[in-house]
Each structure stands twice: as C-alpha cells, then as structure tokens.
Structure 1
Amino acid sequence: MPAALESEKWKWENATAGALAGFSTVAALHPLDVVRTRFQVSNGRPSSSALYRNTGHAIYSIARTEGLRGLYAGFYPAVFGSTISWGLYFFFYSRAKQRYLDGYEQQLGPRHHLASAAEAGALVCLFTNPIWLVKTRLQLQTPFHRSEPYSGFYDALKTIIKEEGWRTLYKGMGPGLLLVTHGAIQFTVYEELRKLAVHVKEERTNHKDGDKLLNSIDYTILGASSKFAAIMLTYPYQVIRARLQQRPSTDGRPVYSDSWHVVKETARFEGVRGFYRGITSNFLKNIPAASITFVVYENVLRLLRVHGSNT
C-alpha cells in the first residue's frame, strides 16, 4: 500500500479508536458528570441554598428524588458529543502530529505534541459546543425548576433556537476554547510519560520495541496521571463555561452576561473556592475516565493495526 494511503488509514483508525474510547467512558461514569455540573453552577450568594452537601449526598439525593433518569440526565448528548469529540480529537491530533513529523526526521518533542493537541482541541470545540450546551442544560433540570422542562435533546435544541436564537448554541465558546489547553496539557503529559515508559521497558527487557510491551495497566497509569495534571491547571474554565450555559431565568434574562461577569460574581461571592466547585466529583469521574479512554484507545488501535496488517 502507498505510504500516503497507509498514513490516511491510520488516521481513520485513530478516529475509530477514539470514538469507541469516548463512548466507553461516558457510559460508565455519566452520573458523576451530572453531579459535577450541578455543583459547578451552584453559587455562594446569600439567597441560594445548597442542594447537596457532597458528591455522595448528591448521588443519593438525585437517585431518591429523580430516579435513574436524573442520574443519567443529558446522557444522549453526552454519549453523542463524547463519541464525536474523541473521534474527531484523535483524528485531528494524529493528522497534526503527522504534519509536524513530515518536517522532522527525529521524534516529536513536547512543543509539537502541545501544538497538535491545541489544534485538535480548537477544531473539536467549534464542532461540538452546541452539543455540550444542550447536555449542560439537561443535566441542570430538576423537579424544582419553574421553567418548562426540555423533553430531550432535540426538544432542547429546537426550544433554544426558537426562544434564544442560534448564537446561544455557542455560549461558553470563549472558555471552551481556553479549555483547549486542558487537552493540550493532557496529551503532552501523556505522550512524554509514554515515551518514558517505553524507554524504561526497553532498558529493563533489552527489547528494541518497548512500545509493544506496554499493557493496560501502563495505559491506566499514564491516562490518570496526564488527566490529573490537566484538571488541576484548567478546572476554573469548566466552571465558567457551565455557568454561562445555564438556562435563562423565567423572565428570559441570562444568569450571567459573559465570561468576565462570571469571574467577577464568582470571585465576589465565593472567592477562589468557587472556581473549583465540583472538583471532587470531577476527579472521581475524569481520572478513571481518562484511564478507560486511553486503555480502550490504545488497545482498539493496536487491534485495528494488527487486523489491517493481516489484510
């Protein structure tokens, strides 16, 4: 097979592996995503009262008052968005890396991985912001809300466009683009730790291709470590985006006018702590999620490549 076609085939296999990884992650850990979103938009104003004391209490309360449906609110857009996001992300990421690699005869360094991940993240953000906005709104619906609830993904999409216009679908785009740094940090840390792990395997076993010696436990540790680093550095952007994407109050006025309004109000009423609301449930969801994602991705990619080489 010509080199160009071979390279293109691997990019599509990256996309397939990424999509399957994203689906697996959401299906396993969605209730924690619901809890995180609800914590993120709860504020410290004197007029507000916290519905949940902690992550465990939140899961118990949602299950008791809303049932399984509450714990899986926004599941369809979460699955749809995550599958598309990871598929596109790995596709754009592998294309960007290949482009940089074409100009170098040596291994790519951290700056190339950072640039590739940032490029992929920005492109994915443009495609998927409307999906995440709908997901956030569905997750925030509770029996206590006075607004007419959305019946599902398509109803939410239709109602938002009708009542608020197309531009609303891109609310939170600013912090969303800033969150590109999250993926960039995560993938850069992952790639550098992966190279280190391969080197260690080669040194210990005298094997020339340490990449083949990496197993699911290695990918679990690599995925969790890279995700931890990314969360610690970028979590406030997630809080800002979630608050911007809330449904307007019953009088039609948005809760926050823009990102700077969110920052000012959060700092005023909650201090630094407000920018890290929901981080516990975020860790509980995303650390294992990252591990699942990379374990599935690497193993599916390996399987596809073995199958491809045999055909």
Structure 2
Amino acid sequence: MNENHARLSPALVETIAGLTAGTISTLTVHPLDVIKTRLQSKPPPPPSSQLPTNLADPLRVHRSSASPTPISGLGILKSLLSSDRPIQSLYRGLAPNLLGNASSWAIFFYIKSIVEGQLLQFHRRHPGSQQQHDDGGGGLSPADYFIASGISGTAITLATNPLWVLKTRMLSSDASAAGAYPSTWQGARRVWAAEGPRGFYRGAGISLLGNSHGAVQFAVYEPLKRFWRTYIRGADQQAGGGGEEKLGNAPTLVISGAAKMVAGTVTYPYQVVRSRLQTYDAEERFGRGIRGVVARVWREDGWRGFYRGLGTNLFKVLPATWVTFLVYENVRYYLPLWAR
C-alpha cells in the first residue's frame, strides 16, 4: 500500500473517491431531491375560513394564488410524472445539484483528510492532549472527527453556496412556471442582475450553522467504523486509509445509515429554513433573514413546520447515503490497487 500511495497520495484518493461518490449518488436520487425541496419551500395552505375576500392581505393572496403543486410528496411526484416531459421534470436543476454535490464531496474528503492528518500528528506530539482509545490509542476521537468535518463543511459552504441557491430555485418550480429559471446559466445571470453578489449567498448563514449536520454524521460514522473493526471483526486497524482493512458492504450500509439518520433528524430544521431563504421571492413569502423565517414558520405551522418534508428527506437521504458511502469506501480501497 505504501508503494501505491507513493503514486496516489491519501488526500488525492479521498478526493477522487468523494467526487465519484457524489456524482453517482446525485444521479441516482435527484428526483427525490426535487420532491423534498418543493415540500420544504411550499408554505401550508391557509384554512378555508381564512381565505382572503379582498386584496387587503397580500401574503394570503400570494399564497392562495401560488402554484397549484400538491403539498404531499406523492402528489408532487404524480404532478411531475404527468407533465409533458416527465424525465426533464424529475431531473430539473440537475446541473447545479450535480456540480455542487460532486465538488462538495471531493472538497470535503480532501480537506477532511488533511485536517485529520494534522490532528493525528498533533496528538502524537502531545500524547496528553487526548485520552487513549480502548483499541490501543493513537487514533482520533469523535470530537476530532467533528472538528475536521466542521472545518471541511465551512470551506464547502463558502465555495458552493451559489450553486445551492440556483439548485433550490430550480428544483422548487416547474420550468414552465412564471419567472422560473430556464437554465443554470440564465438563473445565474438573473441572480446577478437582480440581487448582485449577495444573492448568491442567500442562506449562507444558516448553511454554516448546518455544517453541524456533517460534523455530527462523521462524529458518529468514524467511531462506529472503528468499533466494528475492533470489537466485531477483531481486526487490527492501522492509521492511514491505505493500511485499513476494507469495510464490507453490509457494515457500510448499516453504519452510514445509522449516522445519517442521527445527523439528519437532529439538524433537519436548518434545511427547511435554508430552503425558504434561498427560494424565489423569499422575503415576501417567508420573512426577512433567518429570524424572520423562523418566526413565520413557528407562527404558521408550529414546531411541525421545521420538520416539513422530513419523511421524504429520510427516504431520499438514506439511499443517497448508502450509494455515496458504498462508492466512497470501495473507490477509496480499490483505487490505489488499480493505480499500480
């Protein structure tokens, strides 16, 4: 393995594995992402007794005259499939989503690998800075994985937020809807013309808070991997990606799914707030800034509003997570062998 890694550095292996995993998982589950985004960005309909009888309440007029897209996940799926171009409808906004996810995973694993390496060196130089693990020590703690993932997530947010703004707006509307972006490039031009550079960073604040999602996920995922290798398989785990025993496909599914469900449930509300901040006419429809959006969600739908689309999200993220980590773990293990 050392000879292989002389040709491909661990950071490069992580980058290629992340890029491949992000690409394949995005292509696989993009239609579910369309449904989830529309559920998150569509406010609940007002009770029939509160429907406006005049133009005194612009918000209610806007809501009552909004797109007739059904509010249930199944209803949205039916409406997409019944369109003139069902494939195009299911894969609307694929370009920014694909570019964003593929680049995000590549950047994430690259930076995470570097930060983890630095943390590992720090602990080796300062043995008293970290309690030794039951498997003999020398590894990283859940807190270290949390820090490494948090730093990686921050870099990704700053680099890719413009893509998520375009993706959210394209996924939340049909191509034929009034004011909808016909393409990623046209959408970027419109954002620049109407909102300037700040428009590309709508929702960046809440996305930075949302980095806790990835941090929690890997703070659970990596220790579970070590636990499986050490206590279930009884395998000797060596530091460094190339020296580790391959994680089997079945354990990968179980461990990645468990980590994603924990992180997704704990941090889901930020995704709802972010989607509403980034969608069309965000301030008019949902309030100004994070505080305004949170207050309106709470006022209109209570705590349930912060979990709108959670079922669809879990249904979507589990397959995406399984595909991502199956591809990632296999490419990460086999790539140095293929590069001989």
Q: Tell me, yes or no, whether TM beats 0.5.
A: yes
Cα distance between partner residues in 2 of 1:130 and 1:183: 19
Give aligned-pair identity as a percent.
30
Q: Which moved more, 1:252-261 or 1:11-20?
A: 252-261
Give yes or no for contact 1:240–1:262 (8 Å, CA) kept in 2. yes
Question: Structure 1: which 5+ runs fail to align?
Answer: none
Query: 1:304 Cα deviation (Å)?
Result: 1.4
Cα distance between partner residues in 2 of 1:36 and 1:2: 44
Does the C-alpha gap of structure 1 residues 213 and 155 become closer, same or farther in structure 2, counting only changes over 3 Å? closer
Question: Structure 2: which 5+ runs fail to align?
Answer: 47-59, 125-137, 239-243
- 1:1-311 alignment, distance < 5 Å: 6=6, 9-44=9-44, 46=46, 47=60, 48=63, 51-65=69-83, 67-105=86-124, 106-142=138-174, 145-147=177-179, 149-203=180-234, 207-209=235-237, 211-212=244-245, 214-248=247-281, 255-308=286-339, 310=340
Cα distance between partner residues in 1 of 2:260 and 2:312: 14
Question: What amino acid maps onto 1:134 in structure 2?
Answer: L
Does the C-alpha gap of structure 1 residues 74 and 143 become closer, same or farther in structure 2, counting only changes over 3 Å? closer
Deviations 1:218-275 (A, max 9, x none): 11111111100011110000000100001127xx957432010000000000000101
Give yes or no for contact 2:165–2:278 (8 Å, CA) kept in 1. yes
| Partner SS state of residue 287, structure 2 | coil
Does the C-alpha gap of structure 1 residues 78 and 91 become closer, same or farther in structure 2, counting only changes over 3 Å? same
| Partner SS state of residue 74, structure 2 | helix
Aligned length: 302
Could you tell me the TM-score, scaled by structure 2's length? Answer: 0.83
| Partner SS state of residue 103, structure 1 | helix
Could you tell me the TM-score, scaled by structure 1's length? Answer: 0.91
Does the C-alpha gap of structure 1 residues 304 and 253 become closer, same or farther in structure 2, counting only changes over 3 Å? same
Does the C-alpha gap of structure 1 residues 53 and 277 become closer, same or farther in structure 2, counting only changes over 3 Å? same
Give yes or no for contact 2:23–2:102 (8 Å, CA) kept in 1. yes
Give yes or no for contact 2:230–2:236 (8 Å, CA) kept in 1. no
Give yes or no for contact 1:37–1:140 (8 Å, CA) kept in 2. yes
Does the C-alpha gap of structure 1 residues 255 and 54 become closer, same or farther in structure 2, counting only changes over 3 Å? closer
CA RMSD, Structure 1 to Structure 2 (Å): 2.3
Q: Which residue of 1 aligns with 2:134?
A: none
Query: 1:23 Cα deviation (Å)?
Result: 0.6
Give yes or no for contact 1:73–1:139 (8 Å, CA) kept in 2. yes
Cα distance between partner residues in 2 of 1:135 and 1:53: 20
| Partner SS state of residue 279, structure 2 | coil
Give yes or no for contact 2:42–2:71 (8 Å, CA) kept in 1. no
Cα distance between partner residues in 2 of 1:2 and 1:225: 32
Query: 1:146 Cα deviation (Å)?
Result: 2.9
Cα distance between partner residues in 1 of 2:267 and 2:286: 23
Deviations 1:148-205 (A, max 9, x none): x3121111001110111111100000110011000000111000110111013433xx
Does the C-alpha gap of structure 1 residues 304 and 144 become closer, same or farther in structure 2, counting only changes over 3 Å? closer
Query: 1:40 Cα deviation (Å)?
Result: 0.4
